[in-house]
Amino acid sequence: MRGKCLMIQGTASSVGKSVLCAAFLRILRQDGLKAAPFKAQNMSLNSFATKDGLEMGRAQVTQAQAAGMEPDVRMNPVLLKPTSDRRSQVIIEGKAVASMTAMEYHQYKPELRKRIKAIYESLENEVDCVVIEGAGSPAEINLREGDIVNMSMAEAADAPVILVGDIDLGGVFASLYGTVMLLTEEERARVKGVIINKFRGDVKILEPGLRMLEERIHIPVLGVVPWMDVELDDEDSVTERLRKQSGRGDIDVAVVRLRHISNFTDFQSLALQPGARVRYAENAEDLEKADLIILPGTKNTIEDLIDLRNRKMDAAIIRHARHGGMVMGICGGYQMLGNVLRDPGHSESQVPEAAGLGLLDMEVEFEKEKRTVQATATVECGTCWPEKLNGTRVDGYEIHTGRNSYGPEAYPWLRIGGEIDGVMNAQGNVLGTYLHGLFDDGRLFAAIADRIRELRGDAGKEQQPVSMEEFRESEFDRIAAIVRESVDMEAVYRIIHGEDVSCVSE
């Protein structure tokens, strides 16, 4: 081992690999090392635009922030964004190259191996240590031949592996033992330690099981990490966050749960704001008592709009807006608010044209070229209600296809470099924008919340907004402290440097 990397693999998806990687990266940073995250392939609809306009997965963005590094597309060279149940957009080094079925991509993967290895080595040469994240489980034996993200990546990087199991799912000892036993002898030799994650209770209860596990797999248990309620960006939409309510404020925010919802990380920062109570709505009844309805981003705008109609949610949104309720659309949700959506080149959908919700006076035409850019927008809305924010700068990023044309009843409220980025209706209760991250500093939601309270006659509850950046930093420090306390970091450093670590039971 070259002492330049550490790889975190798991017994399954959602065992906590991403969060543990972030914690280790923050620890390395605290200990004076320059560290970077890496994941060869991500499948996620939560993405981010780097400073040079390239697209990468949010998990590695969060991990880069934990490490104090600027997000770099080399940290996630392959990103898959599902566009339907059968196809995904394939993004290589930040640029979309094709739409493929699972079988087409499986056949394409061998071409990626050398490219991924070269990208990894380029990143590794610039840092003291790379923390590599695997995907799913390395024991998916039917996928071993085409693997580019688990044990084949460990071999390419000559990386020692720590295997993580989720005790909250149940059967953690069986899953750790079974995963190790299904590895080849060469793969098993790379696994230098295991961690049990998401434990609730007294660790002493586990100790007999820990000893028995070590005796059977001959790999040391490095620690038992307690359950951590972590408010960091999620990797993808397969998350409990979409099934629960966040925040306890007086402003009821209903985010419409679209089939291909993307970049819902926008609403993690929103849920932190004083006054916000954020929940995800799946049917028309879920929208009835909302103060603010938000249509989020989506990877397939027209088909999700059709699905919205099939669920009878379109009428509920229109009714809410016609009665003066606040409605906001972001990215694909913004496009849905217009009069007509056209996709003549089938860049997103096989449906060439669809009527929008008709709440904003604009039309959208999708194009093959995707806009991926970091941007700073400025609020400019004349004398309507957000006027107290006029001149306010809002930092964020854009990832979308589609060009808008506006009618006379579309009133600009947000501009980027003089160009219109967001419009609203004449009453100011329906707004849209392409800008992701617009809730991160809290000021925009604070203004919306004040407006809602004013309209319902209970003004005077103005509260100080929360900065997502400051909150995120405190979360990184918190999870790093928990992991330091529960994991043998001396052993982890020895593993990074290629030294042997003995089992406690030996």
Selected catalytic residue, list 260, 320, 400, 436: 436
Q: What Cα–Cα distance (Å) separates residue 449 from each residue in 272, 382, 411, 427, 463? A: 13, 20, 21, 16, 10
CA–CA distance, 121 with 106 (Å, rounded to integer): 24
Element (DSSP H or E) covering residue 481: helix 468-486
CA nearest to 476, candidates 39, 198, 166, 63: 63
Residue 436: active-site member: yes
Residues 6+ apart with CB under 8 A from 312: 283, 284
Distance separating the N- and C-terminal Cα atoms of the chain: 23
- Written as one letter, the residue type at 31 is D
- Written as one letter, the residue type at 17 is K
CA–CA distance, 51 with 144 (Å, rounded to integer): 35
**Beta-bridge mates of residue 131:** 6, 37
CA nearest to 491, candidates 189, 195, 172, 217: 195
CA–CA distance, 463 with 442 (Å, rounded to integer): 10
Phi then psi for residue 175, to 5 deg, are -70, -40
Give me the count of residues in the chain: 506
Q: Look up residue 92 and give its DSSP letter.
A: E
Residue 331: active-site member: yes
Tokens at 239, concatenated: 């998350």
How many C-beta atoms lie closer than 10 Å to residue 286's C-beta?
18
DSSP string over 364-426:
EE--SSPEEEEEEEEE--TTSGGGGGTT-EEEEEEEE--EEEE-TT-EEEEEETTEEEEEE-T
Q: Look up residue 291 and give its DSSP letter.
A: S
Its sign, for the CA torsion 122, 124, 130, 132, is positive
Task: Give residue 78's Cα distance to chain centre.
Answer: 15
Phi then psi for residue 329, to 5 deg, are -120, 140
CA–CA distance, 168 with 158 (Å, rounded to integer): 31
CA nearest to 266, candidates 296, 240, 227: 296
CA–CA distance, 84 with 346 (Å, rounded to integer): 13
Selected catalytic residue, list 5, 129, 331, 381: 331
By three-state DSSP, how is residue 229 classified? coil
Element (DSSP H or E) covering residue 25: helix 17-30
**If you count DSSP H runs as helices and E runs as strands, how many of each does the chain have, helices first?**
15, 27
Active-site positions? 331, 436
